[in-house]
Structure 1
Amino acid sequence: MADVLPLVEARLCSALGEPNARAAVTFLGTERIEVLRFQDTGPEGPVVRYATLGMSAQPMSDPTAMLADPVAGPRAELILSVRGGLAETDKVLRPLAVLAASPQVEGVVVAPGASLDVGEPLWPSAPFTSVLVAEPGGLVEDLELDEPLDPVRFLPLLPMTPNEAAWKRVHGAEALQERWLANGTDLRDPSRRPVPLD
């Protein structure tokens, strides 16, 4: 069976351009996770995108299953977009790799609407310790693989403040996203203030 990761990297590069940096993190008992850094200089200023590479090497399996299926199951990579030059966001590489390794380490299935918490600021002085997993398809299209493999989905991550994460647990992901939209929240601002939740 073909190695998935070269296909994933090719899809990322075709959508985001060539990466200008990459880092690899290996956790005990897991496959290596790389984080690729892409620079986008659009009309609204520079945007830096961080994409994981390695999470999709194995399918995610239901944590309640007796045996993990080595072939079938959802596959994904994570993408975080932030405005460049406003914070030390390159320090997000390790927290991102931790999140990408969580299906292997903790047996979780990462899907849209989920919250992922790293338990510490995503980068130095960041007001965020967790992210909301958003719907895929906007930035990088799903990568179809040969049967019987599931496609690789590229899941955007939206940083959440602790208050937003707590509010989301009560009201749901859709309600939080509607609140962000109604307030014109710039989710790429690495030092944005929490959205009003009254």
Structure 2
Amino acid sequence: MEVLETVRSGVLDHFGVGPTEVDAASVTFLGLEPIEILRIAAADFVHYVTLGGSRHPMGDPAALLADPVRGPRAELVLTLRSGLGAQSGLAKSLGVLAATPVVEGVVLQADALLDVGEPLWRGAPFTAVLLGDSEIPEVVLPDPAEPVRYLTVVPVTATEAAWVRVRGAGALREAWAEAGIDVRDPGRGAATL
């Protein structure tokens, strides 16, 4: 699909890599179109980027007819200090998160808290994520379609998720900053709240 090729080009350009320098996994759920998870290794980090969430605009689940062109579009990016193996289950979790707008009618946006109900990857203490703004620029689509936004995915523990529900996303980010927690470390502990 043209939208996905435009989005793919945008993210590869941002990271300065070609198609052959990227690993990809595909996740398919019954009744949904596939979602690809791109794995981009760069210096000290590995970026996992969804490709497929922006295929269709997110819309109001209560609307009788979905607008096939207008509405916000988003993809997700998770950056970790070290990569996780293909059998970790991370690709499936990111696919679930990217499919949330279609499955649950949720509009993905900064400060949203999403819970997958199981560890994000095998052995992880994180079952939820906090979305935030990304440094990856929006990908402009032909009018009247809205641009595709990238949102960062930050894994959070159950305690941190509860903190967000009570105090808000900003309070958790402040707690991380005060404690010097690197949220890109897959082995990190929870913030003391």
- 1:20 shift after superposition: 2.9
CA–CA distance in structure 2, aligned partners of residues 182 and 23 of structure 1: 36
Counterpart of 1:57 in 2: which secondary structure? coil
1:112 aligns to 2:114 (yes or no): no
TM-score (structure 1 length as normaliser): 0.91
Report Cα offsets for 1:51-93 as digits up to 9, x if no partner. 00010010001122222111110000000001115x5585310
Give the one of 176, 180, 183 matched to 1:180: 176
Aligned partner letter, 1:185 = I
Which consecutive residues of structure 1, in runs of 5 or more, have no partner in the other structure? none
Counterpart of 2:54 in 1: which secondary structure? helix
TM-score (structure 2 length as normaliser): 0.93
Would the aligned equivalents of 1:88 and 1:123 in 2 still touch at CA under 8 Å? no
CA–CA distance in structure 2, aligned partners of residues 179 and 145 of structure 1: 37
Alignment: residue pair count: 189
Q: 1:158 corresponds to which residue? A: 154
Aligned partner letter, 2:143 = E
Aligned partner letter, 2:156 = M
CA–CA distance in structure 2, aligned partners of residues 92 and 169 of structure 1: 24
Give the one of 119, 141, 146 matched to 2:142: 146
Which consecutive residues of structure 2, in runs of 5 or more, have no partner in the other structure? none
Would the aligned equivalents of 1:82 and 1:188 in 2 still touch at CA under 8 Å? yes
Point out 4+ residue stretches in structure 1 off by more than 4 angstroms.
Answer: 87-90
CA–CA distance in structure 2, aligned partners of residues 63 and 104 of structure 1: 9
CA–CA distance in structure 2, aligned partners of residues 113 and 98 of structure 1: 18
- 1:15 shift after superposition: 1.1
Aligned partner letter, 1:183 = A
Residue identity over aligned pairs, in percent, reads: 49
Give the one of 100, 117, 124 matched to 1:126: 124
Q: 1:169 corresponds to which residue? A: 165
Q: 2:49 corresponds to which residue? A: 51
Q: 2:60 corresponds to which residue? A: 62
Q: 2:12 corresponds to which residue? A: 13
